[in-house]
Amino acid sequence: MRTHYCGELDKEYIEQHVELCGWVNRRRDHGGVIFLDLRDKSGIVQIVINPEQKETFDIAENVRSEFVLKISGQVIARSESMINTKIPTGEIEVVASSIELLNSSKPIPFQIDATDTSEEVRLKYRYLDLRREEMQDKLRLRSKVTHYMRDFMDRNDFLDIETPFLTKATPEGARDYLVPSRTHPGEFFALPQSPQLFKQLLMMSGFERYYQIVKCFRDEDLRADRQPEFTQLDVETSFMNEKEIMAMMEDMTRGMFKSVINVELPSEYPVISYKDAMSLYGVDRPDMRIPLTMIDIDNLMLNVDFKVFSGPANDANSRVAAMKIPGGASISRKNIDKYTKYVSIYGAKGLAYIKLNEDGPASPILKFIGEDVTKKIIEITEAQTGDIIFFGADKLKIVNESLGNLREQIAKDMNLYQSDWAPIWVVDFPMFDSNSDGTLNAVHHPFTAPNVDQNTLKNNPIDALSRAYDLVINGSEVGGGSIRIHQSDMQQTVLEILGINDEEAQEKFGFLLNALDYGCPPHGGIAFGLDRLVMIMSNSDSIRDVIAFPKTQTAACLLTDAPAQVPRKILRELGIQSKK
């Protein structure tokens, strides 16, 4: 239907006859001459319709935004004064000789190139929102990312193998989406939170290298970087240790960033232990672009009269930490109050600080901690005149979360970033964490291998570390993986520590336990969150902007009005009764 795309036309095409198809981006009537901005996937070109072409002009008079047209005409040069440097086609325009109306459009609920449209309206009319150049660019980038991933996996002898969507519920840490079975009344499938067990079974089947770009499902509370259905690059290998897997994934991400967005990542990614990450940055996904660290000062606060500090300092399960902000003395009292409110989200009861002004330290807490302690804090933090020191004093988790997130917020507000891109591996995660009732949870999942032998694990599970590794880029976890348990007795031990008895273990994943007894190779893998990775690479604020048809934060689809009720007849066939 067309000879050229709108966005490819330039001075090389002057005097050529072209046939174009696309949408009307804007229509302007300038004293008898009508101008149309015609848009297709490649860009925009200006169309000129002169009144001498009466039939064509009559059609153009009735054209409005988002009408779909086919236009035939001649490419001409714009006059010097009319060149539009903002678009690639700005040096030329097309004088229309004919217009064919392919389809009309109702008045649109928002202008396609508007920047102030609410997200609710954008999601309801997603097919219009996706016409925006910004959205087209992001989904093109996503396509390039997946293409690079597939090409890399193919070059490295990985097989693309599909795993089932209708499967059995497994303990992955979030709620499952359940699918009722009509042929097995009262029984349910679960949509997979990940292909974890199936990819391990593929290793036991001898394929050695597997990958899949796959949809996964988790029924959990949403955030800006979460969706109920999400996509991941899933990878599993046999006969490779964690260092080899990490090195291969570095090669992939380094090549992908260079190929897709022309970004040079380091030739070798730094590695940090989970313990050090929590101690220095308060989070297990540290943003290494930010030069701020937390310093323990418990020993300085053991005997001060200020119980807000001395209490946590004398509690083994608590922490007192300081964080210096270079140039932070300029932070206003109003903004300090804002940060105090911010850390309260994470359970902090307040936000103590010391400002280092020209005339010396200033803070409401100085009279409580004394001159000597103040001097030592300044020395240990290496604070200078013009800086501010913030403090966290509470239970370990509260201090880490409050100061760790405050670190990121202040860096954003004060633009403290020292680089554009900063990948880092986080390793040596604990195998387990404890609940308030003393029971244990798997930090990653119960199939992650420990880095200790079976007896050591049994005798002291809470101190055992795992062979897990997370790849973090700019403060976001983009990939997580581990070496898996490949021996049945070790797997049984881990399940016992988690309080899962033999009967329950057989019921939930007996198929995996049985397979471990038939010559399972050592294996491990990793999964990359594709949506989150593209969000970071496209500099987007939400993964909803890099998914064609996303859900809202309440896990609803405004476009299709899902989830929705279904007829009672269907529920009866499934043996389900709905109660509000």
Q: Is it the case that residue 546 has pLDDT exceeding 70?
A: yes
**Average pLDDT of the segment spanning 294-321:** 95
The answer to whether the Cα torsion of 107, 112, 116, 121 is positive or negative is positive
Q: Specify the pairing of strand 476-483 against strand 432-434.
A: unpaired
Report all structural domains of the chain as residue ranges with CATH numbers, in order of start: 6-103 (2.40.50.140), 135-180+194-271+425-547 (3.30.930.10), 290-418 (3.30.1360.30)
pLDDT at 514: 95
**Average pLDDT of the segment spanning 336-355:** 97
pLDDT at 224: 63
Task: Name the nearest CA neighbour of 415 among 535, 293, 290.
Answer: 290
User: What tens digit of pLDDT does each residue of 210-246 get?
Assistant: 999 999 999 987 676 689 999 999 999 999 999 999 9
Q: For the chain, what is the mean pLDDT? A: 95
What is the pTM (predicted TM-score) of this model?
Answer: 0.93
DSSP 462: G
User: What tens digit of pLDDT does each residue of 157-211 get?
Assistant: 999 999 999 998 865 567 899 999 999 998 999 999 999 999 999 999 999 999 9
How far is CA 445 from each of CA 174, 425, 466, 514, rounded to the nearest angstrom? 11, 19, 10, 19
- The rounded percent of the chain whose pLDDT value lies above 70 is 99
Residue linked to tokens 């678009």: 87
pLDDT at 130: 97
Q: Is it the case that residue 43 has pLDDT exceeding 80?
A: yes
Residue linked to tokens 């990614």: 269
C-alpha–C-alpha distance, residues 510 and 120, integer Å: 45
pLDDT at 225: 66
* Out of 103-107, 175-179, 233-237, 383-387, least confident range: 175-179
Give the angle subtended at the CA of 348 by the CAs of 344 and 352, to the nearest 5°: 105
The answer to whether the beta carbons of residues 352 and 363 sit under 8 Å apart is yes
DSSP 4: S
3-state secondary structure of 111: coil
* Out of 235-244, 342-351, 431-440, 524-533, least confident range: 431-440
β-pair partners for 70: 21, 100
pLDDT at 215: 97
pLDDT at 32: 87
Secondary structure of 372-429 as H, E, C letters: HHHHHHHHHHCCCCCCEEEEEEEEHHHHHHHHHHHHHHHHHHHCCCCCCCCEEEEECC
pLDDT at 435: 87
C-alpha–C-alpha distance, residues 366 and 94, integer Å: 73
Task: Name the nearest CA neighbour of 484 among 236, 138, 158.
Answer: 236
Phi and psi at residue 242, to the nearest 5°: -65, -35
pLDDT at 436: 83
